[in-house]
Structure 1
Amino acid sequence: MEMENETKEERVSEWSELTRECLINILSRLTLEDRWRGTILVCKSWFNAFKEPSLHSLFNLDPHFDSPPESTHWWTPEFDAKIDSMLRSVVQWANTSLTEIRIRHCSDRSLALVSQRCPNLEVLSIRSCPRVTDDSISKIALSCPKLRELDISYCYEITHESLLLIGRNCPNLKVLKRNLMNWLDPSQHKGIVPDEYLNGCPQDGDSEAAAIANSMPHLEWLEIRFSKLSVRGLNSICQGCPNLEILDLSGCANLTSRDIVNATSSLAHVKDIIKPNFYIPRSVFHTERYGHWNLYDERFQTDVFRI
């Protein structure tokens, strides 16, 4: 028994006495989950190595949200606080080397620190963040001029004013994803996303389109799924963003096939236009609120309501 204990102690000693360079090399080969759930708990020297700035230039939690079913727990302030805590730690450890952030359900509290400490940020993806507002995004716009990709999908407290600031202050922006939830058939989100949030879907599609058109001339990839923009808004985007290659208009219910063809005919570099392609629930079709669907014979030209 005594010899067995000595062997264990020797093994612990050997691992803890690895040089910092060796530890950093080991940690760099591990997944993000393995680092956070295992290595930082080994001993003090491992934790110190874990805080090496080069290990935190990228912070991507998206895979951990994509695999399990969406949870009501994700939409609570308590969950936001946990994500905020992780992001604040990464920002501090990265020491200005952080260039890519892909997370969800953070809040203004952590993004305020990002705007202060991440001048080299190039990618910011913060989908499904009900407590991110114009306040933090405006600070990001003013402090992160190297931004080239922004995903603010399902962030309903962010308005066209932030889009305008981002466009004017981030000249390298090439990718913008501003997708909304399926307001035509919200059943896929029902019981998970709070009702008051689902009902708060932004109405100002043309205001957002104008902000994009007037400030993002170098945009190449634009996703605005389920936006409520009209043909006027689409025309302004196509005129103001002549370099568009990818344009995703899935679920944009106010656009006809003819509208899209006419508006996008001026895009010389376009490679893929994803048109509205959805089934209209009978409950939506018969409600007075969506009476414009009576024009379906013009908008939907195949037997399964496709454009």
Structure 2
Amino acid sequence: MDSAPDPADEFRNWLVLPRNVTVSILLRLGAIEILKSAQMVCSPWHSLCKDPSMWRAIDMRNSGNHLEFPNFQKMCRHAVDRSCGHLVDINVEYFGTDDLLRHIADSSSQLKRLRLVHCNDISDEGLSQAAAKLELLEELAISYCPFSKEALKAVGRCCPLLKSLKFNSRVQRNGDYDGEALTIAENMSELLRLQLFGNLLTNDGLQAILDGCPRLESLDLRRCFNLILAGDLGRRCSEQIKGLRLPHDSIDDYEFNDCCSFVNVSGGFSDIEHANVSGGSKFFDFSYINYYDEDCHDYDHNYDDDYDDGHIDIEYFEAYDDPNND
């Protein structure tokens, strides 16, 4: 009768898995789990986790707990340093700052893909300065960050290889509904893919994009409710763009789907919609809510007094004149 296998033998066999298998396992964990725990499992894993090839892509996806931001910033810097200049893809969520982005740009001249989500502490100047050092950037994904058309202009001028842009749910202020669309059209002529989820651009802005970005193959205009796509403009979109998503198309596959239907104000709205307030038609910026948790707390202020059964005091949201309403 065969004796039972020695648990120690099984443990040793597990440690001597082929390198590529171990790398595959570790990469599936993500940067945060590697730095917080996986690299401490054993000496071979610790040695492998210091290999620059492990840090060509850094995904710092997190829950947005602001108390953890300093730790995430330190871990992100450490991960970038471990890449030894070989970083090509990085995702930073919530905790990004000008200093952190500067460190990434200074250390990663080979960067091709940059994703920023809810990074309120990165300024236009911070993104512009970073773009000047990222000449090889091909993909930029920005969602719920406070960047203006000036930052977009800098990216377009400094990153000639840019092929893909996501610039989602950014509310244009002072009635400049087409400012960002015009900036994209004038400075990013080589774009192949563009997502402007929840943008307030009008037909004029869309027309400029179609004219200024002739190579565009994919265009996502979901929740862009200022657009009127009947007639010639709608036909041109259908004919010119292979992958076209229209304002009222399903958002089931949108990565921030949970942020798009969250409150009821005088009848119910989604991301950016119309409301009749004091006799006039207005737009309301509901992207603010993306910075809050389910109970509508932001990181510095408690809105409990204004939140009751899914209703929020409308005074907390900025109203915009309806450009289609005379």
1:290 to 269, 276, 282: 282
Partner of 2:84: 95
Letter in 1 for 2:34: R
Partner of 1:32: 29
Letter in 1 for 2:22: I
Partner of 1:80: 69
Once the two structures are TM-superposed, the CA of residue 224 in structure 1 deviates from its matched residue by: 0.8
Once the two structures are TM-superposed, the CA of residue 110 in structure 1 deviates from its matched residue by: 1.4
Matched residues in 1 for 2:131 and 2:323: separation? 42
Partner of 2:297: none
Structure 2: gaps spanning 5 or more residues: 1-6, 250-260, 269-273, 284-320
| Corresponding position: 1:116 with 2:88 | no
Contact 1:251–1:277 (CA<8 Å) still a contact in 2?
A: yes
1:253 to 219, 222, 225: 225
Name the structure with the higher strand share.
Answer: 2
| Corresponding position: 1:277 with 2:251 | no
Letter in 1 for 2:222: S
Matched residues in 2 for 1:246 and 1:116: separation? 31
Name the structure with the higher helix share.
Answer: 1
Structure 1: gaps spanning 5 or more residues: 1-6, 66-70, 182-200, 297-307
Contact 1:242–1:266 (CA<8 Å) still a contact in 2?
A: no
TM-score (norm 2): 0.67
Matched residues in 1 for 2:177 and 2:75: separation? 33
| Corresponding position: 1:42 with 2:41 | yes
Matched residues in 1 for 2:144 and 2:216: separation? 22
Partner of 1:3: none
Matched residues in 1 for 2:93 and 2:69: separation? 9
Matched residues in 1 for 2:192 and 2:169: separation? 20
Once the two structures are TM-superposed, the CA of residue 45 in structure 1 deviates from its matched residue by: 5.7
Q: What secondary structure is seen at the aligned counterpart in 2 of 1:116?
A: helix
Matched residues in 2 for 1:35 and 1:46: separation? 10
Q: 1:44 to 1:163 in 2, by over 3 A?
A: same
Q: CA RMSD in A?
A: 3.4
Matched residues in 1 for 2:204 and 2:83: separation? 44
Q: What pairs with 1:157-236 in structure 2 (closer than 5 Å)?
A: 158-180=147-169, 201-203=171-173, 204-236=176-208
Q: After the TM superposition, which of the residue ranges 206-215 and 264-273 deviates more from structure 2? A: 264-273
Letter in 2 for 1:128: H
Contact 1:243–1:269 (CA<8 Å) still a contact in 2?
A: no
Contact 1:243–1:268 (CA<8 Å) still a contact in 2?
A: no
Contact 1:238–1:263 (CA<8 Å) still a contact in 2?
A: no
Matched residues in 2 for 1:11 and 1:138: separation? 53
Q: 1:173 to 1:264 in 2, by over 3 A?
A: farther
Q: 1:141 to 1:263 in 2, by over 3 A?
A: farther
Matched residues in 2 for 1:109 and 1:219: separation? 28
Once the two structures are TM-superposed, the CA of residue 268 in structure 1 deviates from its matched residue by: 6.0
Once the two structures are TM-superposed, the CA of residue 228 in structure 1 deviates from its matched residue by: 1.5
Partner of 2:124: 134
Which structure has more relative contact order (CA 8 Å, sep 6+)? It is 1
Identical-pair percentage: 26
Q: 1:132 to 1:293 in 2, by over 3 A?
A: closer
Q: 1:241 to 1:89 in 2, by over 3 A?
A: same
Per-residue CA deviation, residues 69-119 of structure 1 (Å, 9 max, x unaligned), is: xx6xx163x333233222111110001100001231122221110110100
Matched residues in 1 for 2:235 and 2:192: separation? 13
Partner of 1:242: 214
User: How many corresponding residue pairs?
Assistant: 255
Matched residues in 2 for 1:210 and 1:295: separation? 18
Q: Could you list the structure 1 runs, at least 4 aligned residues long, displaced by more than 4 angstroms after superposition.
A: 21-25, 266-269, 278-281, 291-296
Once the two structures are TM-superposed, the CA of residue 272 in structure 1 deviates from its matched residue by: 2.2
Letter in 2 for 1:265: R
Matched residues in 2 for 1:263 and 1:136: separation? 37
Partner of 1:190: none
Per-residue CA deviation, residues 221-265 of structure 1 (Å, 9 max, x unaligned), is: 111111112222111111111111111111112211227x51771
Matched residues in 2 for 1:44 and 1:126: separation? 33
Contact 1:24–1:52 (CA<8 Å) still a contact in 2?
A: no
Matched residues in 2 for 1:165 and 1:92: separation? 26
| Corresponding position: 1:265 with 2:236 | yes
